[in-house]
């Protein structure tokens, strides 16, 4: 029944910020997905008799890799695989299922906000028993195993029908196809006051970007909360996301932005990404940056039943603006600064040190699961709007009046030649010691370093997590290379300026001096040949 298939290693199976992401064509090479899945199973303990959750965002190759992973899981000792109907599970719903079922872990098949289709991207990520992405020591062990692997094992079995709810056997293992939405929607009903949201009679537009949140948003927003039919746009998951980038930002969700800036805009607008863990928040006439959203959600979370007891702490990734730190200070709770990527929040959440976490890249979440959660952020915003009776714009203005405003933008330079991007970062790192005291326009460098993080729960240290240049007065610029791209390098430049009083400025104008300083410090034009970023978020 169980077959060992001889194989040879691929040199490029190093997981990045969030799992292994490659072009579909790379994943289609013989043994490529099989090697990686087997390497995961070779590294993790406790498979005998255990449950594994499998699901993905519905992109091209999702179903094929699920069938392969089921056959390999059956040959590696698992007793049970639970898979979402149609192969669908949003990343936060997968995290929730792992936790609810007491599973050993889960395979999440997604390249998240990256485009999908035969010539675009695919990805595989392993999550642990706590429902969160494998920490660095595990992803490093998986990578090491991919470099020595010489076989993968599978049971001989036909493809399963993933579209019918129910159980079947694959070898000695049971596979259960479940409704991907039910237990996630029930969790949301426990956290938020659905009656109050319904009673507030708000209007809304939600763009699911032809990705995984369509079925979740339709069930929760339209069926359970009573928003009008048609509130959810692009609600059917498509293997190529309709040819778009399922990245909820002002560039790729431009249609939603226009809707929300119009005179007849609904009260609230939101979007989510390919795998459902990101969120974009736009009120009528008011875009809220993800860093501000984190701070505003944290400041008001106690208005939702799930957080009525208050927060234990707030964690943000290093490039995320310090707006959330000011909320933590006011609440008298700890603020944590971690490297980019959700895997660094897991230990803080498990230890009960933080309740709400967030990233500037439109990820926010809490200790209800161990992933960021797009719809969770949308529902918390709706709960806050319902509880306060205020508009999004009013909440933002009131927040800035209390805490001051962290003007913020991220400039992405995409598809830069890797050698050029590496040269830029190397030069930057080499020159860090000379920066303190130097002036750029009216900005004076106070400190500069390459961010390193020591996890307060297990003492593990992660180095080289991005270059920070801090200016006197609380402004800063951060430089790092993306760890989720699949071709060339993406340089991310994060710009931030704090103002206690001047909270009504235009972000572009307010960040002009820092943008100029960023180029003077890093030589962006000189190294990349680019005079403008490709994407500004
Ligand atoms: C990006 C974001 C990071 C996020 C990661 C995964 O990583 O910057 O904040 O955690 O994507 O998000 P990078 O290394 O490209 O900057 V998702 O929604 O793509 O799983
Ligand atoms: Co995502």
pLDDT tens column, 283-293: 999 999 999 99
Give distance in angstroms: CA of 376 to centre of ligand 1. Answer: 18
Give distance in angstroms: CA of 372 to centre of ligand 2. Answer: 8
Mean confidence (pLDDT) of the chain: 97
Q: Please tell me the pTM assigned to this model.
A: 0.97
Q: What is the per-residue pLDDT for 486?
A: 87
**Cβ atoms < 10 Å from Cβ of 437:** 8
Taking CA atoms, 501 is separated from 219, 473, 504, in Å, by: 43, 13, 9
Contacts 24+ apart (CB under 8 A), 41-48: 41/72, 41/73, 41/76, 42/145, 42/149, 43/138, 43/141, 43/142, 43/145, 44/104, 44/105, 44/126, 44/138, 46/104, 47/76, 47/77, 47/78, 47/104, 48/77, 48/79
Q: Whose CA is nearest to atom 4 of ligand 1?
A: 341
498 pLDDT band, cuts 50/70/90, is very high
Q: Whose CA is nearest to atom 9 of ligand 1?
A: 361
**Angle 32-43/136-146 helices, nearest 10 degrees?**
130
Pairing mode of beta strands 268-272, 204-207: parallel
- Strands ordered across the beta sheet of 363-366: 335-338, 314-317, 356-359, 363-366
**Cβ atoms < 10 Å from Cβ of 157:** 18
Please choose, from the candidates 349, 343, 340, the residue with its C-alpha nearest in 3D space to the C-alpha of residue 368.
349
Please tell me whether residue 391 adopts helix, strand or coil conformation. coil
pLDDT tens column, 140-164: 999 999 999 999 999 999 999 999 9
Give the chain's length: 537
Catalytic residues: 112
Q: What is the per-residue pLDDT for 372?
A: 98
328 pLDDT band, cuts 50/70/90, is very high
Does 92 contact ligand 1 (Cβ within 6 A)?
A: no
**Containing H/E element for 108?**
strand 105-109
Give distance in angstroms: CA of 247 to centre of ligand 2. Answer: 8
Supply the DSSP string of 445-470, one letter for each residue.
EEEEEE--EE-TTT--EE----EEEE
Tokens of 61: 């190759």
pLDDT reading at 485 higher than 90: no
- Asked if 85 contacts 455 with a C-beta cutoff of 8 angstroms, the reply is no
pLDDT tens column, 294-318: 999 999 999 999 999 999 999 999 9
pLDDT tens column, 83-132: 999 999 999 999 999 999 999 999 999 999 999 999 999 999 999 999 99
Atom of ligand 1 nearest to the CA of 485: 15
Tokens of 162: 């993933």
Atom of ligand 1 nearest to the CA of 492: 16
Atom of ligand 1 nearest to the CA of 274: 18
Atom of ligand 1 nearest to the CA of 112: 19
Does 482 contact ligand 1 (Cβ within 6 A)?
A: yes
pLDDT reading at 378 higher than 90: yes
Tokens of 313: 């702490």
Q: Whose CA is nearest to atom 2 of ligand 1?
A: 361
Tokens of 19: 């799992």
pLDDT tens column, 335-359: 999 999 999 999 999 999 999 999 9
**How far apart (Å, rounded) are the C-alpha atoms in residues 208 and 276?**
8
Does 273 contact ligand 1 (Cβ within 6 A)?
A: yes
What average pLDDT does this structure show over 265-284?
A: 98
1 pLDDT band, cuts 50/70/90, is confident
**How far apart (Å, rounded) are the C-alpha atoms in residues 83 and 111?**
18
Does 133 contact ligand 1 (Cβ within 6 A)?
A: no
- Asked if 283 contacts 268 with a C-beta cutoff of 8 angstroms, the reply is yes
Does 279 contact ligand 1 (Cβ within 6 A)?
A: no
Which residue, chain included where needed, has tokens 């490093």? 140
**Ligand whose nearest atom lies closest to the CA of 19:** 1
**How far apart (Å, rounded) are the C-alpha atoms in residues 456 and 414?**
34
487 pLDDT band, cuts 50/70/90, is confident
Please choose, from the candidates 239, 284, 292, 203, the residue with its C-alpha nearest in 3D space to the C-alpha of residue 498.
292
pLDDT tens column, 40-70: 999 999 999 999 999 999 999 999 999 999 9
Tokens of 396: 């933002």
What average pLDDT does this structure show over 161-176?
A: 98
Rounded to 5 degrees, φ, ψ at 490 are -115, 120
**What percentage of the chain exceeds 70 in pLDDT?**
100
Q: What is the per-residue pLDDT for 143?
A: 98
Supply the DSSP string of 113-153, one letter for each residue.
TS--STTSEEEEEEE-TTSSBPPHHHHHHHHHHHTT--EEE
Does 277 contact ligand 1 (Cβ within 6 A)?
A: yes
**Ligand whose nearest atom lies closest to the CA of 114:** 1
**Ligand whose nearest atom lies closest to the CA of 111:** 1
């Amino acid at each position: 029944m169980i077959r060992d298939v001889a194989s040879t290693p691929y040199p490029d199976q190093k997981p990045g910020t969030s799992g292994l992401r490659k072009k579909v064509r790379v994943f289609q090479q013989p043994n490529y997905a099989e090697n990686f899945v087997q390497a995961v199973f070779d590294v993790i303990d406790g498979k005998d008799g255990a449950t594994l959750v499998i699901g993905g965002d519905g992109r091209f190759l999702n179903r094929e890799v699920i069938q392969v992973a089921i056959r390999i899981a059956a040959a590696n000792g698992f007793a049970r695989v639970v898979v979402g109907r149609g192969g669908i599970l949003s990343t936060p719903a997968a995290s929730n299922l792992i936790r609810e079922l007491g599973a050993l872990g889960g395979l999440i098949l997604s390249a998240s906000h990256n485009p999908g289709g035969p010539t675009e991207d695919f990805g595989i990520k392993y999550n642990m028993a706590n429902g969160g992405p494998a920490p660095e020591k595990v992803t490093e062990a998986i990578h090491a195993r991919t470099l020595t692997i010489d076989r993968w094992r599978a049971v001989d079995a036909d493809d399963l029908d993933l579209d019918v709810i129910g159980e079947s056997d694959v070898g000695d293992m049971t596979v259960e196809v479940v409704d991907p939405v039910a237990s996630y929607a029930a969790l949301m009903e426990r956290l938020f006051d659905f009656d109050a949201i319904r009673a507030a009679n708000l209007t809304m537009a939600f763009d699911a970007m032809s990705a995984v949140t369509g079925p979740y948003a339709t069930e929760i927003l339209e069926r359970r909360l009573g928003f009008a039919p048609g509130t959810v746009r692009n609600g059917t998951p498509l293997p190529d996301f309709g040819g778009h980038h399922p990245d909820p930002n002002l560039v790729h969700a431009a249609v939603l932005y226009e809707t929300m800036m119009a005179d007849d805009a609904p009260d609230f607008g939101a979007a989510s990404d390919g795998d459902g863990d990101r969120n974009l928040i736009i009120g009528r006439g008011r875009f809220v940056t993800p860093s501000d959203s984190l701070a505003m959600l944290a400041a008001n979370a106690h208005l939702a039943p799930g957080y009525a007891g208050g927060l234990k702490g707030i964690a943000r990734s290093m490039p995320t603006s310090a707006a959330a730190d000011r909320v933590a200070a006011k609440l008298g709770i700890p603020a944590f600064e971690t490297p980019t990527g959700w895997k660094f929040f897991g230990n803080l959440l498990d230890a009960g040190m933080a309740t709400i976490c967030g990233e500037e890249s439109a990820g926010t979440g809490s200790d209800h699961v161990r992933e960021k959660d797009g719809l969770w952020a949308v529902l918390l915003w709706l709960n806050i709007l319902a509880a306060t009776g205020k508009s999004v714009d009013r909440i933002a203005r009131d927040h800035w009046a209390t805490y001051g405003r962290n003007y913020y933008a991220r400039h992405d330079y995409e598809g830069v030649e890797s050698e050029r991007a590496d040269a830029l970062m190397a030069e930057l790192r080499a020159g860090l010691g000379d920066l303190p005291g130097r002036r750029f326009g009216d900005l004076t460098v106070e400190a500069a370093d390459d961010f390193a993080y020591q996890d307060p729960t297990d003492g593990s240290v992660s180095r080289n997590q991005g270059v920070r240049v801090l200016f006197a007065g609380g402004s800063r610029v951060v430089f790092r290379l993306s760890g989720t791209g699949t071709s060339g390098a993406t340089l991310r430049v994060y710009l931030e300026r704090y103002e206690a009083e001047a909270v009504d400025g235009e972000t572009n104008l307010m960040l002009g001096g820092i943008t100029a300083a960023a180029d003077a410090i890093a030589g962006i034009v000189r190294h990349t040949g680019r005079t403008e970023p490709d994407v500004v978020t």
